[in-house]
A = this chain, B = another copy of it.
Amino acid sequence: MAVDYSNIKVIGFDADDTLWVNETYFREAEEEVGKLLSHYETPNKIDQELFKMEIKNLPTYGYGVKGFILSMIELAIELSNGTVSNTVLSKMLDIGKEMINKPIELLDGVPQVLKTLTKDYRLIVATKGDLLDQERKLEKSGLIDYFHHIEVLSEKQEVNYTKLLKHLDIKPAEFLMIGNSLKSDILPLINIGARAIHVPFHTTWEHEKVTKNDTNGLNFETVKSITEITSILG
């Protein structure tokens, strides 16, 4: 079934791993943690336990680097039975600060696509995570002038997108979301009658994964590169 994009007024872009690299840095940080705690557990076990800790703390800390580091510290204390050194914990704080201050690595073709689309649509950034982090990344990215504004959502579920549309004062069929996460950027939009285009990134956080069944029968397109979007929209 062909998707009807003819009513689109506003296009929302996910930021992390859609406009620029992000998940890669979390994977690298997890690898460093594995090394820092290698005294206590195997890298595989540490990975699993860190994921569990993050999910346990998600309702309290939400998304973003700061909660990630707090979970990392809590895990280090737990796995070491309260014996982990201040040196290791200091390094964890440093890993967090480095992550926050990483330069922005844009994904291929992003500025060109935005430059074209901004002529015909109102573009916004719709992202999860920490407001300050995301604003800073947008500033550093050089992309800020293409966007009307940035919307940071605490979660990307149907209810959050419904609020967003109310706030933008548009109907679902007038909104197109573009992002790399099926769970966060695609499924909830299709479910509320909006449009969504999936641009996969090579790495997906465990928490963002969905099964093939979840997408069965849902009417959305997947592209290999964000550069394909302009021709899809005509």
Q: Which residues of the partner chain B approach A67 to less than 8 Å between Cβ atoms?
A: 66
Is A47 in contact with chain B by the CB < 8 A criterion?
no
Most chain B Cβ neighbours within 10 Å, of A82, A86, A93, A132: A132
Is A101 in contact with chain B by the CB < 8 A criterion?
yes
CB proximity of A126 to chain B, nearest CB, Å: 13
- B101 and A60 within 8 A (CB): yes
Is A149 in contact with chain B by the CB < 8 A criterion?
yes
Residues of A within 8 A of B (CB): 60-63, 66-67, 69-70, 73-74, 77, 80, 82-87, 89-90, 93, 96-97, 100-101, 130-133, 135-136, 148-149, 152-154, 163, 166-167
- A73 and B87 within 8 A (CB): no
Contacts A70-B96, A73-B73; A132 near B154 (Cβ below 8 A): yes
State the CA gap A43–B93 with chains docked (Å): 24
State the CA gap A86–B82 with chains docked (Å): 5
Question: 9 smallest A-B Cβ distances: which pairs?
Answer: A62-B132, A82-B86, A66-B66, A132-B154, A77-B86, A135-B154, A149-B167, A131-B131, A131-B152
